[in-house]
Amino acid sequence: MNKVILIGNVGADPEIRRTQDGRPIANLRIATSETWRDRNSGERREKTEWHTVVVFNEGLCKVVEQYVKKGAKLYIEGQLQTRKWQDQQGQDRYSTEVVLQGFGSTLTMLDGRGEGGGASGGRGSGAGGNDYGDDYGAPAPASSPSRGGGSGGNFSRDLDDDIPF
């Protein structure tokens, strides 16, 4: 288990790079902030934390490319990853990033910008990174009749096979 969940604002328009074979990679800077009140002075104080988010997931990259701009509020779910690199002096350096890459990765816009724009849903919404023109059938139709009810329904979803998360 290696999961990061962020809700925050994008500090600058995303950078989109492409690999040699044309695959997009998006880089985002996300700010999360917390506020508290000083115990002594009673003043409100704030601390902002900045996160680097790297989106390898192609579908999510498309969402980023089309909809995410500086200032957008995002819900992000990814993994922590530290990569090693060498600086100009040849010294080892490490950078830790929140990586969105397939399994368990999500990006949802929370401020209603973007196409159609809803945001309260986890799975969906127009700009939510989960809606690439696919249909994943009727949502969760039913469950075990043995536990008391349920029609049985049609269970037409095929999430394993054809949904590109």
Partner DNA sequence: TTTT
11 binds DNA (CB under 7 A): yes
- Cα atoms in the 13 Å half-sphere on the side-chain side of 159: 9
Task: Let me know how long the chain is.
Answer: 165
The pair of structure tokens assigned to 80 is: 């922590």
17 binds a second copy (CB under 8 A): yes
- Judged by CB under 7 A, the stretch of 10-18, 96-104, 138-146, 152-160 that binds DNA is 10-18
d(CA 131, CA 133): 6
CA nearest to 111, candidates 77, 78, 68:
68
Q: Work out whether 161 is an interface residue with a second copy (CB under 8 A).
A: yes
Residue 139 lies near a second copy (rule: CB under 8 A): yes
- Copy the structure tokens of residue 5: 């969940």
Least CB distance from residue 119 to a second copy, whole Å?
Answer: 8
Range 72-101, binding a second copy (CB under 8 A):
73, 75, 77, 79-87, 89, 93-99, 101
In the window 37-76, what residues touch DNA (CB under 7 A)? 46, 48, 50, 70-71, 73
Of 118 and 141, which CB lies nearer to DNA in the complex structure?
118
Kindly report the backbone phi and psi dihedral angles of residue 70, in degrees, each rounded to the nearest multiple of 5, phi listed first.
Answer: -45, 130
Please, which residues have CB within 8 angstroms of residue 117's CB and are 6 or more apart in sequence?
A: 109, 125, 126, 127
Among 19, 20, 35, 86, binds DNA (CB under 7 A): 35
> Which of 33, 66, 95, 156 contacts DNA by CB under 7 A?
33
